[in-house]
Amino acid sequence: MSKQAAADDISIKLGHALELVAACLGYTSLSALQTAQAVGSELRNFHKARHVVIDLDLARCRALALGHSALAGSLQELLSVAFSTRSKWAEVHTDFKIFEEALKRMVGQQMLADPDVLASIGGAYMEDRFNICIDDSLVAEEVPVCERVNMTWTGRVTPKEGAHIPGNTLLVVAAVSAWRIGERCFEGPFVEVVRLAVA
């Protein structure tokens, strides 16, 4: 993070950068983050994090308290870069609701990419020709830290209007799981299609 700030002509000490990372993870101080890491309730290394839900408000307050008002406008970008350098697959979200919608979108994509689903809709997944609607959702904040949640979700696959594809709605039932691997870090989703049915 400090390297990216330097590239943007913003001077920040390593200790301050670490304090901002701790804040974006929901901790009141770097010491609090290190305590959580010591007892195993927070990641020591963030390379496993697939999703990071940052507390941007807390990070901005910490930046101001540390005398880095110039960071306020670019903090989200700097934190995104910081996590992407640790995990190239990490997606940074600024709110749990945004993360939940991203998770649902990813589950839908994995459902549509399943070989049995592809065979049922003509052998090729074309995003411009099919919709998938998922009513199920995950309330991410309610998942205990260091626990995996297992769910059963149902997606309804239908041709988009104007696609001129005959057929009924295809119901895709899948086992979906996600793992809360830190206070604001998640791994997943893991998706396995278990049943198909025509509605």
pTM above 0.85, yes or no: no
Mean per-residue pLDDT of the chain: 86
Same domain, 118 and 171: yes
Same domain, 79 and 110: no
Same domain, 55 and 7: yes
Final residue of a domain: which of 93, 115, 150?
93
Number of domains observed in the structure of the chain:
2
Nearest to 21 by CA among 188, 187, 184: 184
Final residue of a domain: which of 93, 127, 154?
93
Q: Residues 5-45: pLDDT tens digits?
A: 444 445 688 899 899 999 999 999 999 999 999 998 888 88
159 φ/ψ angles, rounded to the nearest 5 degrees: -65, 145
Q: Tally Cβ neighbours within 10 Å of residue 180.
A: 22
Return the pLDDT at 127: 61
Residue 76: which domain range?
Answer: 2-93
Q: Residues 90-130: pLDDT tens digits?
A: 899 999 999 999 999 999 999 988 999 888 877 665 666 78
Same domain, 115 and 163: yes
Letter for the amino acid at 9? D
Same domain, 104 and 87: no
Q: What is the 3-state secondary structure (H, E, C) of the chain?
A: CHHHHHHCCCCCCHHHHHHHHHHHCCCCCHHHHHHHHHHCCCCCCHHHCCEEECCHHHHHHHHHHCCCHHHCCCHHHHHHHHHHHHCCCCEEECCHHHHHHHHHHHHHHHHHCCHHHHHHCCCCCCCCCEEEEECCCCCHHHCCCCEEEEEEEEEEEEECCCCCCCCCCEEEEEEEEEEECCCCEEEEEEEEEEEEEEC
Same domain, 125 and 77: no
Final residue of a domain: which of 93, 128, 146?
93
